[in-house]
A and B are shown apart, each in its own frame.
Chain A
Amino acid sequence: MTSIKQLPYEEYFLAGNGSCPGCGLTIGLRNVLKALGKNVYMVVPASCSSVVQSPFPNSSATVPLLNTPFAASAAAASGMVRALKIMGKDAVVMVWAGDGGTFDIGLATVSGAAERNEDLLYICYDNEAYMNTGGHRSSATPLGTFTGTTPTGKRENKKNVPLIMAAHGIPYVATASIAFVTDLYDKIMKAKDMKGFRYIQIYSPCTPGWLLPTEKSVESAKLAVQTGIYPLFEIEGGIFKISAPSKAYLKKEKRKPLHDYFKIQGRFKHLKEEHIKLIEQWIDQMNEEYAALDGKKIF
């Protein structure tokens, strides 16, 4: 495992960009590009990312960047990766998409590209709602969450896209978090050298969207792992493996109280004790299931 001191000094995603203070996606992107280096083509659908990194004069990515329509990134990247092969160029094509562009409107093209096993790295930075439009629920929004279109709390559970992706039989699926940068870095390094469709989902807090104090961005990401609500894992060659940061928290007694996670985020403020119980039950069940899968070939 890479230690924090071993991370490259080079920056490919620059400061002075248009992100909000405490933005999670920028922490993720900065470290992803550290792992990928300069030889990468980035494909980004309509999202916070495109307005964070592309407006003049605050453009901040130092790699080629293609901003595409909302539903289109996996398709556009498919075309791009094939063309690069034809032209004899060797580079990583990376899709960098939000959860709305991945879980909802983009899912058909993501699934299509995965089924064709296109040689690309698809990264979904998951901030659990449409944040660029001002905070509207997506199918990545967890149960009970307040958003502009779920004013009394979302009634449905989060869609399990990593497992859906794994069911395509692609070579690599992983979840990661901006609070565990070295784990994230290692996963990107591993995926970088693989062929075929690779899917990585990064938990990325959104301070204005989650009604989260600016300085608590990383803290909330850490708590998401420690409370077991966002387990980190890899599915490599169909074999499910819980990642080191999440290992301890598979056991209920080791997990931090869900309250710690909820109380710092305004988006959960309206939840009553009985709701939290319900969500806790769901977390227990998910972690039990993951513990049972650990080390097994599931797809």
Chain B
Amino acid sequence: MQYVWKISGEQGEGIDSTGHIFAMNVFRNGFELATYRKYSSRIKGGNTTFEVRFSENPVFARVKKLDVLIAFDENAILVSKEQIKSSTIVIFDEQSGITDLDKVDCIKLAIPLSKIARDITGTAISKNMVSLGASIALFDGMDYSYVMDQIEKRFSKKSMEIVEKNKRAFLEGYNFAKKFLSDNSILPYKVVKGKDGVKRMIMSGNEGLAMGALAAGCKYFAGYPITPASSILEFMVKNIGNFGGVAVQTEDEISAINSVIGASLAGVRAMTATSGPGFSLMVEAIGYAYMTETPIVIANIQRGGPSTGLPTKTEDGDILMSLFLGHGDTEKIVIFPSNPYEMFVYTFQAFNLAEKYQLPVIILSDLQLGENVYTTKYIDDSLLDELKVDRGKYVDYEPNERLYRYQFTEDGISYRIIPSVKGLQFQTSGNEHNEKGFITENSSIRKKMVEKRMRKLANFNDYFFEFEDIGSNPKVAIVAYGINYHFVKEVCVEINKSEGVSFRLVKPVVLYPFPIEKMEGALEGMDNIIFVEQNYFGQLRRLYYMFGGKNKSVLINKYDGEPFFFEDLYQSIKEKLYSKV
């Protein structure tokens, strides 16, 4: 069993909140789900869409089918053309001027949405409630008590009368659709609740990231509004105060990251979150953080680039930049989590790594994972016990021995003396400096200092690298990262079922230091290697060869700003299966 529900209309019609309520309601019914949101840069007007795919099994990718489409206007039909099938039930209002539907082969459920809404609540905006009721009625066995709770939660501040009116609007839609089904002898979609008893969560990548930062003890967050990372800033502004921290909206990204560096130098865990254009502005500061060995965490929730690019669409085009940004010889750890749970865990780890190695850690994600909600593993106390805060060589006490901030050490990592510790003078500079932090141009110190910094990651082994096999004795390996990994997995499970092909799925998480040995290990003996990427260059594939990868491979990539459809990916992978490298 798997269904796809979609609501589409103009920005400002409450599409997003209706979608969220439906998604949560589905979740409360015990299903796994994935969402897809499409929105415009505009505030009102412009098409916006909220799609929910749900099943008793894990789902991730978009599919080219719809079981229910709530279409508020003609655009909603246009943007869904690829997905409307003859079995799709399209809920629409004949008064809304949708004319194109005559030519579309589908089940048409015309409801006077606006009229019902106005008659009951006095405002046409409640057509959301009417259509939500109607769409839920199409799923036999779907409990809607969550929707009722939400109506109470949202409107009880206004008045009980408004709560009742909205409930009535919902039920009116519900009954209308039920009657439609029986009048036309159409069977409703059967849903059987998931009953595996496993606790799950529903969250977006950005929520996972923000909560992971709070769990890790992030005390200072600075950011600047930018799609699709603004939701992290909003989350932090609302919540970090409860954890003894502070979130600041600065005047630009340069200020955001430099204030994060200041906070970290003073001694607290600090981070910023941004997207492409803002990330570009942060480049100089990231170099400074490397030079001064300041632990900071930077999240880059990627959108389509370059420049302003596609502000409301997804892409993974900043991988090469993340590894190589900054002038001079610099290193930073780059992490690419694949789902909201990993966003939580690896953001937590990012703070540990930043402090352990005393350098910038970049978390890469993208709009598709950052701004969409998925069911995900439950985060419980045992996970929090497992994830220990490790502040590395942090010194906020008066030491017994003589210590310098940039002392030459075997592992290259010096004691991180914070300012104002008694007995130790604090100095730092983006200029080349000596062990005490004083500026120097002495060649031999310079040489030793570069080598000290380079020793830090020489024995790095925190790769979080994973691979898994679908079927036995796979000869085909697919390398993917981010949410695409789960898209690929879904497709491969299906190909394995229908064609009997086995796969090895390889998921690099830390992209720098590049896990070349792990990759070569996982790819050994494979006849066919496919990289699946959301950018033009095939950026991870390029890195693979840059760092000495020996195997031949092919690339499946997409750079139109839209996530992969299940069917397209299925087709592409099948084609590559039999293509000679």
Chain A residues close to B by CB (< 8 Å)? 18-21, 46, 48, 51-52, 55, 67, 69-71, 100, 103-105, 107, 130-134, 136-137, 139, 148-151, 207-209
Contacts and interface: CB of A to CB of B under 8 A. Distances in A.
Nearest to B249: A149
Contacts of B44: 20-21, 207-208
Interface residues of B, number: 25
Contact of B43 (A48, A55, A100, A149): A48
Interface in B25-77: 40-46
Given A52-B42, A104-B251, A105-B252, A70 B233 contact: no
Nearest to B12: A208
Contacts of A48: 42-43
Given A18-B46, A104-B252, A133-B230, A67 B308 contact: yes
15 contacts: A18-B45, A20-B42, A20-B44, A20-B45, A46-B308, A69-B307, A70-B277, A103-B251, A136-B230, A136-B233, A136-B249, A148-B230, A149-B234, A149-B237, A151-B238
Interface of B: 12, 40-46, 224-227, 230, 233-234, 237-238, 249, 251-253, 277, 281, 307-308
A20 B44 CA distance: 5
Contacts of B251: 103-105, 107, 139
Contacts of B12: 20, 208
The 7 A-B pairs at the shortest CB distance, nearest first, are namely: A20-B44, A105-B252, A133-B225, A104-B251, A136-B225, A51-B41, A130-B225
A294 to B, nearest CB: 31
Chain A: interface secondary structure? loop
B512 to A, nearest CB: 27
Given A105-B252, A136-B249, 11 more contacts: A48-B43, A69-B307, A69-B308, A70-B252, A100-B225, A104-B252, A134-B230, A136-B225, A136-B230, A136-B234, A150-B237
Contacts of B230: 133-134, 136, 148
Contacts of B249: 136-137, 149
A71 B43 contact: no
B281 A20 contact: no
A100 B249 CA distance: 12
Contacts of B237: 148-151
B246 to A, nearest CB: 12
A69 B277 contact: yes
Given A20-B12, A105-B224, A136-B233, A71 B252 contact: yes
Contacts of B226: 133
B225 A149 contact: yes
A208 B233 CA distance: 20
Nearest to B312: A51
B281 A132 contact: no
B43, B44, B238 — which one has the most chain A CB atoms within 10 A of its CB? B43
B14 to A, nearest CB: 12
Contacts of B277: 46, 69-70
A207 B43 CA distance: 10
A151 B233 CA distance: 12
Contacts of B308: 46, 67, 69
A149 B42 contact: no
A136 B46 CA distance: 21
B363 to A, nearest CB: 20
Contacts of A21: 44
A207 B45 CA distance: 13
A131 B281 contact: no
A209 B233 contact: no
A190 to B, nearest CB: 31
Nearest to B253: A105
Contacts of B46: 18
A133, A136, A139 — which one has the most chain B CB atoms within 10 A of its CB? A133
A71 B281 contact: yes
A208 B14 CA distance: 12
A14 to B, nearest CB: 16
Contacts of A51: 40-42
Nearest to B278: A70
A67 B308 CA distance: 10
Contacts of B233: 136, 149
A103 B255 CA distance: 14
Contact of A20 (B43, B234, B238): B43
Contacts of A131: 43
A133 B45 contact: no
A41 to B, nearest CB: 19
B43 A209 contact: yes
B307 A132 contact: no
A133 B252 contact: no
Nearest to B250: A104
A208 B43 contact: yes
Nearest to A130: B225
Contacts of A133: 225-227, 230
A71 B307 CA distance: 12
Nearest to A137: B249
A130 B251 CA distance: 11
B46, B224, B225 — which one has the most chain A CB atoms within 10 A of its CB? B225
A83 B230 CA distance: 37
B490 to A, nearest CB: 31
A274 B125 CA distance: 34
Contacts of A149: 225, 233-234, 237, 249
A106 B169 CA distance: 47
A131 B230 CA distance: 12
Nearest to B46: A18
A209 to B, nearest CB: 7
A107 B254 CA distance: 13
A148 B224 CA distance: 12
Contacts of B227: 133-134
